[in-house]
């Protein structure tokens, strides 16, 4: 009888951990497409970037923008682009004022972004951006 109770408890714990793990994974790493435009007055001056511990990790621009999905629903997206002279530079082209961006964002983080043409922005998002 003890073996059955212990087995049931172990199975319940494994199930709870598996469900929690899947929810965490989906909230953090499964994203949707959002569209934004760099405002014409957005400050693109590179500045020092710091780690969570306060250590300087390079130079770049922190972006904090409102983006929209195809239905025009808003989401705040935050991401950093390192400057070419920065140690964390990954070959990214620095967005310019007026550029449209396709941002892949999960519930928690920005997974990636690309500069796109205005023609690539769905009407629902474009209406919100203009």
pLDDT tens, 109-128?
999 999 999 999 999 999 99
Question: Do residues 37 and 12 both lie within one domain?
Answer: no
Query: What does the block give as tokens for 25?
Result: 């994974």
Write the CATH number for 111. Answer: 2.40.50.480
| Same domain flag for 84 and 107 | yes
Task: Check whether residue 41 and residue 73 sit in a common domain.
Answer: yes
Sign of CA dihedral 84, 77, 125, 128: negative
DSSP 3-state of 71: coil
Q: For residue 58, list its beta bridge partners.
A: 49
**pLDDT computed for residue 53 by the predictor:** 94
Flag whether pLDDT at 88 surpasses 70. no
The pLDDT tens digits of the residues spanning 44-74 come to 999 999 888 999 888 999 999 999 999 999 9
Average per-residue pLDDT for the chain: 90
Same domain membership, residue 41 and residue 98: yes
Q: Could you tell me which residues come within 8 angstroms of residue 62 by beta carbon, excluding any fewer than 6 positions away?
A: 47, 49, 78, 79, 80
DSSP H or E segment with residue 35: strand 32-37
Domain encompassing residue 13: 1-30
Report which of residues 37 and 5 the model is more confident about.
37
* Domain co-membership, 41 together with 103: yes
- This prediction has a pTM of 0.83
């Amino acid at each position: 009888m003890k073996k059955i109770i212990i087995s049931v408890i172990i199975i319940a714990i494994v199930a709870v951990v598996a469900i929690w793990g899947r929810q965490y994974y989906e909230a953090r790493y499964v994203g949707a497409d959002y569209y934004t435009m760099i405002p014409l007055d957005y400050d693109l001056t590179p500045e020092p970037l710091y780690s969570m511990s306060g250590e300087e990790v390079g130079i770049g621009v922190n972006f904090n923008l409102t983006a929209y999905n195809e239905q025009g629903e808003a989401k705040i997206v935050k991401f950093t682009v390192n400057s070419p002279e920065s140690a964390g530079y990954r070959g990214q082209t620095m967005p310019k004022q007026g550029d449209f961006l396709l941002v892949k964002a999960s519930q928690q983080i920005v997974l990636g972004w690309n500069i796109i043409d205005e023609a690539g922005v769905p009407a629902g998002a474009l209406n919100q951006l203009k």
